[in-house]
Amino acid sequence: MKIYDRLYIDGQWTASSDPGFIDVTNASSEQVMGRVPCATAAEVDRAVAAARTAFASWSTTTVERREALLRRLHEGLLERCDEIADTVTKEVGMPIKLSRRIQAGLPAMVMESYARLIANYPLEERLGNSLLLREPVGVVACITPWNYPLHQIVAKLAPALAAGCTLVLKPSSQAPLSAFILAEIIEQAGLPPGVFNLVSGRGAVVGEALALHPEVDMVSFTGSTATGKRLTVLAAETVKRVSLELGGKSASVILDDADLRVAVKGTLGACYLNSGQTCSALTRMLVPASLYEQAASLAAEMGRGFVVGDPFSDQTRLGPLVSAAQRERVRNHIRKGIEEGAELLTGGPMAPEGLDKGYYVQPTVFGQVDSQMTIAREEIFGPVLSVIPYRDEDDAAAIANDSIYGLAGAVWSGDDERALSFGRRMRTGQVDINGGQFNILAPFGGYKQSGKGRELGKFGLEEFLEIKSLQM
C-alpha cells in the first residue's frame, strides 16, 4: 500500500480539512493499492495563495536557475524511474516494459527537453521601435487525467516552471500516485516553497474551485472534451487563459499502394497502446474497398495475437483498463457496435478467457463500420478498432475529417510524397506518415473539439508566456 496522507502546499506536507481519502485501485487485482488526501476549496485557497506569493520572486529568477532546477528534476525522475513505472502499471494497466519507456521514461525526457529549450529561447526581441518581452503568464492550475498520468503532468509543469510560472496541480483521482512521487522529487530538488503545490481531490470540487479562482491566471487541462467545455465556461468568469488537450477519434488512412501488413500492424499497435487508453489512438482504420477483405482479415488475425493478461508478465501485450467503470463503458460500446450492425471480426464484450478479475477487455476489431455508427464517432478509450472501407481518396479524406475531433491521424503509402499530400488534407494536429515516430519537440494538440493550444517543445512553452511590447 502506498499511503499519502498529506497535500503539498507552500513547501510543506499538510493535512486536508476533509478527513476523507481517495482510494487508488490496482487495475489487475481490483484491490486497493494506495490512498491520497481529498482536498476541499479551503486547500485550493491556501495553495493558490502560496503560488501567488511565490510568483513574485520565481517569475524573476534567471533562466540559468530555472534550467538548473529542471535538470535536478530530470535526475530525480531518472533515479525513481523503476518505482514510477511499477506504480503506473499497477494503477493504469500498461505492460511494465512499455511503462518503463513511456510512463516513466517519457516524462524524464520531456523535463530535460525544457531545460535545454529555456536555455536557448529568445525571451526578448526587437521589432522596429519596440522591445518585445515574453513574460510568465502567472499562477497556473494544472488539471490532469489518468492514462499517462506523469507524462501529462510534466508536459505542463516543465514548460510552466521554465517560463517562470508557479502552479497548483490537481492530478487524476484514479492514478494520482506518481504525482506524489514527483512532489517528493520537487521537494528534494529545492524548488522554493509555493512554486509547486499539489492538491489531490475530486474534479467537481478541487478542479472547479481552481477554474473559478480569481487568483489563478491560467488553466491548463488534459482530459475529456466534456470536462474541458465545463472548465472553459467556469474560467470565462475571470477571463483566464485556458489550454485544453482533449479527446480524439483519429483515423489511420491506408492508401492503395501501401504495404498492407505494415500499415495494419502499425495501426493496430497505435490503437491498442495502453489498452486503447490513449487520446491519440488510431481507432478508425480506413482502407480502399478493393483491399477491404485482406485488410480486415489481417487486422482480425493480428488482434487475436495480442496476449491479454498480467501487465507484469513478459508475454503480455494488453493489460487491463484503469477501472470497472471504464471497462463497462468500453464493453457497452462493443455491444453498441454489434447492435448497430458492424461486423465483429474478433473480440467482444465478454471478459477475456480466464480473466474474470481485473479490468480486462478483449482486443476487438469491427469490420464494415460506417461513419455514422457510434463506434466510429465516439471516443471509446479501449482496445477497439473499427475498419472502414472507402471508395477513393476524396472519400477517404471526407470520412477521416467527418468527426468532431481532430487530434491525430496516420497515412500509409508506398510513396512518401503521396502520403504527405494526403496528410495535408487531414484536419488534425498531428499526422504520422508511414509510421513516423513520436517527437517530443513537435507540437501536440488538437483541432476542433480535441482542444485548444499545443503542448511540448517551444509551442508548449509559449502557452505559458504573455507578450509585452515596450515602444521606444
Buried b (16+ CB within 10 A) or exposed e, 323-348: beebbebbbebbebbeeeebeebbbe
Is residue 204 at the binding interface for ligand NAD, with CB under 6 A as the rule? yes
- Can you tell me the distance from the alpha carbon of 369 to that of 284, in angstroms, rounded to the nearest whole number? 9
Residue 210 vs 302, nearer CB to ligand NAD: 210
Cell 465556461 identifies what position?
A: 233
Nearest CA among 301, 219, 319 for reference residue 260: 301
Binding mask 451-470 for ligand NAD (x = CB under 6 A): x-------------------
Q: Which amino acid is at 129?
A: N
* Binding of residue 66 to ligand NAD (CB under 6 A): no
Of the candidate spans 14-22, 216-224, 256-264, 335-343, the one that interacts with ligand NAD by CB under 6 A turns out to be 216-224
Note whether 178 and 87 are within 8 A (CB).
yes
In the complex, least distance from residue 333 CB atom to ligand NAD, rounded to whole angstroms: 13
Annotated catalytic residue 245: yes
The binder of ligand NAD chosen from 25, 103, 144, 250 (CB under 6 A):
144
Burial 154-163 (b: 16+ CB within 10 A, else e): bbbbbbbbbb
Cβ within 8 Å of residue 438, ≥6 positions away: none
Strand partners, 467: 134
User: Restricting to residues 147-176, which ones interact with ligand NAD according to CB under 6 A?
Assistant: 147, 152, 170, 172-173
> What is the C-alpha to C-alpha distance for residues 330 and 307, in angstroms, rounded to an integer?
18
Nearest approach, Cβ of 134 to ligand NAD (angstroms)? 24
- Of 164 and 319, the one with the shorter C-beta distance to ligand NAD is 319
Helix (H, G, I), strand (E, B), or coil: what is residue 167?
strand
Least distance (Å) between residue 280 CB and ligand NAD: 7
For ligand NAD, the binding residue among 43, 245, 310, 432 (CB under 6 A) is 245
Q: Among 269, 207, 238, which Cα is nearest to 412's?
A: 269
Q: Is 207 in the site for ligand NAD (CB under 6 A)?
A: yes
Among positions 11, 203, 358, 460, the unique one binding ligand NAD when judged by CB under 6 A: 203
Largest interatomic CA distance in the chain: 74
- Binding to ligand NAD, residues 72-131 (CB under 6 A): none
Q: In the stretch 277-296, what mask flags binding to ligand NAD with x, by CB under 6 A? A: --x-----------------
> Which one of 245, 379, 455, 463 is the catalytic residue?
245
Binding of ligand NAD by 143 (CB under 6 A): yes
Q: Which of 4, 32, 25, 1 is nearest to 16 (CA)?
A: 4
In whole angstroms, how far apart are CA 161 and each of 95, 106, 210?
31, 18, 18
Least Cβ distance, residue 209 to ligand NAD (angstroms): 9
Binding flags for ligand NAD, 316-335, as an x/- string (CB under 6 A): --------------------
Task: Choose the catalytic residue: 279, 379, 455, 463.
Answer: 279
Euclidean distance between CA atoms 46 and 37, whole angstroms: 15
Tell me how far, at minimum, the Cβ of 326 lies from ligand NAD, in Å: 8
In which order are the strands placed within the sheet that holds 384-390? 343-346, 364-367, 384-390, 282-288, 250-254, 409-412, 432-433
Residue 405 in the binding site for ligand NAD (CB under 6 A): no
Which is nearer to ligand NAD, 116 or 230 (by Cβ)?
Answer: 230
Is position 224 an interface residue for ligand NAD (rule: CB under 6 A)?
Answer: yes
230: contact with ligand NAD by CB under 6 A: yes
Binding stretches for ligand NAD (CB under 6 A): 143-147, 152, 170, 172-173, 203-204, 207-208, 222-224, 227, 230-231, 245-248, 279, 379, 381, 407, 446, 451
Which residues are catalytic, by number? 245, 279
